[in-house]
Amino acid sequence: MKHVSELRRHGLFDARVPRFTSYPPANWFSEEVDADCVRTWQSNAPKDAEISLYVHIPFCRRLCWFCACRTQGTRSEAPLAPYVERVLTEAQQMRNGFSNGVQTRRLHLGGGTPTILPAPVLNDLLTGLNDIWGLGALDEFSVEVDPTDVGPQRLAMLKDHGLSRASLGIQDFDPQVQQAIGREQSRDLTASVVDQLRALDVDALNFDLLYGLPYQTEQTLATTLDAALEMEPGRIALFGYAHVPWMSKRQSLIPSEALPAPEKRLALFDLARRTLLGRGYVQIGIDHFARPDDALAKAFFDKRLTRSFQGYTDDTAPYLVGLGASAISTYPQGFAQNIPVTGKYAAQVEANAPAMWRGYVLTETDHLRADIVEQLMCYHAATLSLSQRADQMILSCILHIVERFGDAVSWDGKTLTIARWAHPLVRMIAGTLATDQTAQTDQRTYSAAI
């Protein structure tokens, strides 16, 4: 790979920075932002506001060791139906905050493992959400699918309710890698689920892959990519594995000595990037790839791409209502996150109390910075508006970026552009636009820059 020495000089292989799925990142949220604030945001929403729904299902039949998401294991189905009841109660509470005319445009079930829900419980969830929010005019209904924990009945139930996109977790097909991360899932099993989805006319498929896993080599990753591409997914998310055992204790089961070094991680990503580009995929932002005819690629070409807690999206709804334990809601005025502990979340909802835990109120400067960060994360370039260029703190940050990163960036007084070879530095560059709070945050809460 070219430019490795330049990337090393800029500190890429040592840095830990936010992923910037939001600005500011979620670890800036404060418990001082309360439910009364959020109710005001909801009541001020336009009568015909477009809304997307996200439902978090935290349960998993097994806990994969690599995962740092808010999840909990259960071998019993006993907690599933009561949890769904609490989610529907919260859904009604949240719906009551908006006017009658709001329009629900998207629904996404994430986790955890949404497909752990038995078909009758899935039906109760989706029927209830439709009764409360009205799902008849959805632009998209997507679900995260665990190929090891789904069956024809559940898939058929999802399709009956309008499933249009499925996101399949794969990570890596190599047996040694799978054993090391506690996730055994064969290529044949995955292909079978893909075939079942396509038989139901669910052709919009996303695959999630990871690089930087233990025992992963360029050869094993190439084999995984070949197997995945044979199934012709429309999108591939190629995330870097974040090893943070001090935050996710289950990751201590992963042998750290088997993890690739930072420079090797870059080589793994570059191999995957070149492979996917060679197969006709378009790179979207830092870690997504899509076929040119996919909606995400079209949004990228049309400059409509945005970034959210689910990654890159073509969803432009200004309101994202998060339901369930740890779910995050997005409003034009800020963010609100639910209580992460399932039992405490359920108790609050059952008591008809807000499930909110913490949040963040966006300032005018935050909005200006957030727009620049999102442009950089989506397009590796940002064109500043007059108000952004007039903000002395922002302008100072831009000049600092130019001074610090040198020929890795260019600035013509209006547009900041990251050189192609320096694209891996984008999270570091975006981090420079953050306020001093980033420097005050324990850097171990962030993932490696590559």
Which two structure tokens, joined as six digits, stand for 73? 């294991």
Residue 1: predicted pLDDT? 67
pLDDT, average across residues 434-439 = 57
Class of domain 364-448: mainly alpha
Which two structure tokens, joined as six digits, stand for 372? 């620049």
Query: What single-letter DSSP state applies at residue 30?
Result: B
**Residue 397 known to bind ligand:** no
Residue 417's pLDDT band, with cuts at 50, 70 and 90, is: very high
Residues 291-300: tens digit of each pLDDT? 999 999 999 9
Q: Which of 131, 125, 129, 137 is nearest to 164 (CA)?
A: 137
Query: Is pLDDT larger for residue 180 or for residue 436?
Result: 180
Residue 310: predicted pLDDT? 85
Residue 5's pLDDT band, with cuts at 50, 70 and 90, is: very high
Are the C-beta atoms of residues 389 and 414 closer than 8 Å to each other?
yes
Backbone angles phi, psi at 434, to 5 degrees: -70, 160
**Residue 37 known to bind ligand:** no
**Statement: residue 438 has pLDDT above 70:** no
406's enclosing H/E stretch is none
Pairwise CA distance, residues 368 & 388, whole Å: 6
Residues 313-343: tens digit of each pLDDT? 999 999 999 999 999 999 999 999 999 999 9
Query: Is pLDDT larger for residue 363 or for residue 437?
Result: 363
Name the 3-class secondary structure at 36: helix
Which two structure tokens, joined as six digits, stand for 446? 């962030």
The C-alpha angle with vertex 284 and arms to 280 and 288, in degrees rounded to 5, equals: 85
pLDDT, average across residues 344-353 = 96
Residues making up the chain, counted from first to last: 450
Residues 23-78: tens digit of each pLDDT? 999 999 999 999 999 999 999 999 999 999 999 999 999 888 888 787 888 889 99
**Residue 69 known to bind ligand:** no
**Residue 67 known to bind ligand:** yes
**Statement: residue 444 has pLDDT above 80:** no
**Residue 169 known to bind ligand:** no
Q: Count CA atoms closer than 13 A to 191's CA, side-chain side.
A: 12
**Residue 301 known to bind ligand:** no
11's enclosing H/E stretch is none
**What is the CB neighbour count within 10 angstroms for residue 246?**
11
Residues 233-285: tens digit of each pLDDT? 999 999 999 999 988 899 999 999 999 999 999 999 999 999 999 999 999 99
pLDDT, average across residues 366-370 = 97
**Residue 242 known to bind ligand:** yes
Q: Is 3 left (phi over 0), alpha (psi -120 to 50) or beta?
A: left
The C-alpha angle with vertex 427 and arms to 422 and 433, in degrees rounded to 5, equals: 110
Percentage of residues in the chain with pLDDT exceeding 90? 92
Pairwise CA distance, residues 47 & 392, whole Å: 36
Percentage of residues in the chain with pLDDT exceeding 70? 97
**Statement: residue 179 has pLDDT above 70:** yes
Are the C-beta atoms of residues 289 and 302 closer than 8 Å to each other?
no
In the block, which residue shows the tokens 């909005």?
A: 367
pLDDT, average across residues 7-13 = 96
CATH code: domain 23-361 is 3.80.30.20
Which residue ranges does the chain devote to CATH 3.80.30.20? 23-361
Partners of 238 in the β-ladder: 209
**Statement: residue 441 has pLDDT above 80:** no
Are the C-beta atoms of residues 106 and 138 closer than 8 Å to each other?
yes
**Residue 383 known to bind ligand:** no
| Per-chain mean pLDDT for the chain | 95
**Statement: residue 305 has pLDDT above 80:** yes
In the block, which residue shows the tokens 């191999």?
A: 271
**Residue 144 known to bind ligand:** yes
Query: What single-letter DSSP state applies at residue 221?
Result: H
Residue 221's pLDDT band, with cuts at 50, 70 and 90, is: very high
**Residue 406 known to bind ligand:** no
**Residue 111 known to bind ligand:** yes
The per-type count for the chain, helices as H runs and strands as E runs, is 16, 21
Which residue ranges does the chain devote to CATH 1.10.10.920? 364-448
**Residue 64 known to bind ligand:** yes
**Residue 68 known to bind ligand:** yes
Which two structure tokens, joined as six digits, stand for 133? 């929010």
Handedness of CA 174, 176, 177, 182 (dihedral sign): positive
Residue 435: predicted pLDDT? 60
Work out whether strand 447-448 and strand 409-411 pair parallel, antiparallel, or are unpaired.
unpaired
Which two structure tokens, joined as six digits, stand for 438? 């980033």
